[in-house]
A and B are shown apart, each in its own frame.
Chain A
Amino acid sequence: MRIRYRVAVWSGLLLAALVAAVLASATIGPVELRVPVVAKAALNAIGIPVGFETSISTASIAGMSVPWPTVDVQYAYPFAFQIAPTSELIVRSIRLPRIVLGATVGFALGGAGAVMQGFFRNPMADPSIIGVSTGAAVGAVATIAVPMAVPFGLQTAAFIGAVVTAFVVYLLATEGGRTPVATLLLAGVAVQTFLGAVVSFLLLQSGESLEEAVYWLMGNLYGAGWADVGATLPAIAVLFLALVPFARDLNVLMLGEEDAQTLGIPVEWTKRLLLGLSSLLTAAAVAVAGVIGFVGLIVPHVMRLIVGPDHRLLLPTSALAGALFLVVTDTIARANPQVLPVGIVTAALGAPFFLFLLRRREVHEL
Chain B
Amino acid sequence: MSEPLLSVSDVSAAFGDARVLDSVSLAVQRGEFVGLVGPNGAGKTTLLRTINGVRDPDEGTVSVDGDRQADCSAREWSRRVATVPQDTSVSFSFRVADVVEMGRAPHRRRTQFGTTETDRRRIEDALELTNTADMRDRPIDELSGGERQRVFVARALAQDTPLLALDEPTASLDINHQVEILRLVRELVGEGRAALAAIHDLELAARFCDRLALLSDGEIRAAGPPESVLRSEALDPAFETTTATATNPVTGTPIVTAGAGDETAMDGIDGDDAQRVHIVGGGHAGARAIATLREAGHEPSAGVLRDGDLALETAQSLHTPVASTPAVGPADPDAIAAAHDLAADAAVVVFADADIGPRQWTLDLAEGAPATVLIETRPLAERLHAGERARDRYERLRERSVTADLNTLPSAVETAVTTATRPADD
Interface positions of A (Cβ within 8 A of B): 1-4, 245, 248-249, 251-252, 254-256, 258-259, 261-267, 308-310, 312, 365-366
| Interchain CB contact under 8 A, B92 and A366 | yes
| A263-B152 Cα distance, complex, nearest whole Å | 12
B319 within 8 A of A: no
With both chains docked as a complex, state the minimum distance between the C-beta of A310 and any C-beta of chain B, in angstroms. 6
**Chain B 93-119: CB-based contact to A (< 8 A → 1; otherwise 0):** 111001100110110101101110000
CB-based contact A256/B78 at 8 Å: no
Does A264 contact B92, Cβ atoms closer than 8 Å? no
CA distance A4 to B98 in the complex (A): 14
| A258: chain B residues within 8 A (beta carbon) | 49, 54, 85
B177 interface residue, CB < 8 Å from A? Answer: no
**Inter-chain contact A262/B82, CB cutoff 8 Å:** yes
Is B92's CB under 8 angstroms from A254's CB?
yes
Using known A-B contacts A248-B105, A256-B85, determine if residue A262 contacts B52 with beta carbons closer than 8 Å.
Answer: yes
Contacts of A249 in B (CB 8 A): 105
Q: Given contacts A251-B102, A256-B85, is CB(A264)–CB(B93) below 8 Å? A: no
Residue contact B91 to A245, C-beta cutoff 8 Å: no
Q: Is the CB of A309 within 8 A of B82?
A: no
| Closest chain A residue to B155, Cβ basis | A263
A4 to B102, CA, bound (A): 16
Taking the closest CB of chain A, its distance from the CB of B402, in whole angstroms, is 60
A–B complex contacts, Cβ < 8 Å, 28 sampled: A1-B114, A3-B113, A3-B115, A4-B113, A245-B110, A245-B111, A248-B102, A249-B105, A251-B94, A254-B92, A255-B102, A256-B85, A258-B85, A261-B53, A262-B52, A262-B78, A262-B81, A263-B106, A265-B74, A265-B75, A265-B105, A266-B74, A308-B95, A309-B93, A309-B94, A310-B94, A310-B98, A365-B92
CB–CB B54/A262 < 8 A: yes
Centre residue among A245, A259, A312 by max chain B CB count within 10 A: A259
Instruction: Give the complex CA separation of A264 and B82 in angstroms.
Output: 10
Asked if B385 lies at the interface with its beta carbon under 8 angstroms from chain A, I say: no
How far is the CB of B37 from the nearest CB of chain A, in Å?
Answer: 22
Q: Are A366 and B94 in contact (CB under 8 A)?
A: no
Known: A4-B113, A266-B73, A266-B74. Contact between A248 and B103, CB under 8 A? no
Kindly provide the distance from the CB of A123 to the nearest chain B CB, expressed in whole angstroms: 10
Alpha-carbon separation in the docked complex, A310 to B92 (Å): 10
Q: 10 smallest A-B Cβ distances: which pairs?
A: A264-B78, A264-B106, A264-B75, A262-B83, A309-B92, A263-B105, A266-B74, A262-B52, A4-B114, A261-B54
B337 at the interface (CB under 8 A from A): no
* Residues of B close to A259: CB separation below 8 A: 83, 85
Complex Cα spacing A266 to B76, Å: 11
Cβ contact of B105, chosen from A3, A252, A310, cutoff 8 A: A252
Query: B94 to chain A: which residues have CB within 8 Å?
Result: 251, 254, 308-310
Which residues of the other chain, A, contact B361 by a CB distance below 8 angstroms?
none
Among the interface residues B49, B76, B78, which one has the most CB atoms of the partner chain A within 10 A? B78
Chain B residues with CB below 8 A from A252, complex form: 102, 105
Chain A neighbourhood of B95, CB < 8 A: 308
B77 sits at the interface (CB 8 A): yes
With both chains docked as a complex, state the minimum distance between the C-beta of A257 and any C-beta of chain B, in angstroms.
9
Instruction: Bits for B104-140, please: 1 = Cβ < 8 Å to A, else 0.
Output: 0110101101110000000000000000000000000
* Minimum distance in angstroms from A357 CB to a CB of chain B: 15
Interface contacts (Cβ under 8 Å), in number, total: 79
CA distance A245 to B111 in the complex (A): 6
Chain A residues within an 8 Å CB radius of B76? 264
Question: A248 with B108: in contact, given A261-B54, A310-B94 (CB under 8 Å)?
Answer: yes
With both beta carbons as reference points, the residue of chain B lying nearest to A258 in the complex is identified as B54
Contacts of A251 in B (CB 8 A): 94, 98, 102
Contact of A365 among B54, B91, B98, B102 (CB under 8 A): B91
In the complex, what distance in Å separates the CA atom of A254 from the CA atom of B94? Answer: 10
> Are B74 and A261 in contact, CB atoms less than 8 angstroms apart?
yes
Q: A1-B114, A256-B85, A366-B92 are in contact. Are A263 and B159 (CB under 8 A)?
A: yes
Additional 8 contacts, C-beta under 8 A, given A248-B105, A262-B83, A267-B74: A3-B115, A248-B102, A255-B102, A258-B49, A261-B52, A262-B53, A264-B77, A310-B98
Task: Give complex CA distance A2, B101 in Å.
Answer: 13
Interface centre among B87, B105, B111 (most CB of A within 10 A): B105
A318 to chain B, nearest CB (A): 15
Q: How far is A249 from B49 in the complex, measured between Cα atoms in Å?
A: 21
Residues of B within 8 A of A254 (CB): 92, 94
| Alpha-carbon distance between A228 and B232 when the two chains are bound, in angstroms | 78
CA distance A261 to B102 in the complex (A): 12
Q: Does B79 contact A (CB under 8 A)?
A: yes
What separation, in Å, do the CA atoms of A363 and B216 have in the docked complex? 45
**A60–B416 Cα gap in the complex (Å)?**
107
The distance in angstroms between the C-alpha atoms of A213 and B82, with both chains bound, is 55
Residues of chain B within 8 A (CB-CB) of A366 are 91-92
B78-A263 in contact (CB<8A):
yes
Rounded to whole angstroms, the CA-CA distance of A249 and B102 in the bound complex is 9
A3 touches B114 (CB 8 A): yes
Docked pose: A314 CA to B95 CA in angstroms: 14
Whole-angstrom distance between the Cβ of A77 and the nearest chain B Cβ:
34
Interface string of B164-208 (1 = CB under 8 A from A): 000000000000000000000000000000000000000000000
Shortest distance between the CB of B209 and any CB in chain A (Å): 21
Confirm or deny: B26 has a beta carbon within 8 angstroms of a beta carbon on chain A. Answer: no
CA–CA, A310 and B78, complex, Å: 22
User: CA of A266 to CA of B77 in the docked complex: distance in angstroms?
Assistant: 11
A308→B375 CA distance, assembly (Å)? 65
Give the nearest-CB partner of A4 in chain B: B114
User: Is B90 at the interface (CB under 8 A from chain A)?
Assistant: yes
Which chain B residue shows the least CB distance to A266?
Answer: B74
Please, which residue of chain A has its CB at the minimum distance from the CB of B91? A365
Enumerate B206-234 residues with CB–CB distance to A below 8 Å: none
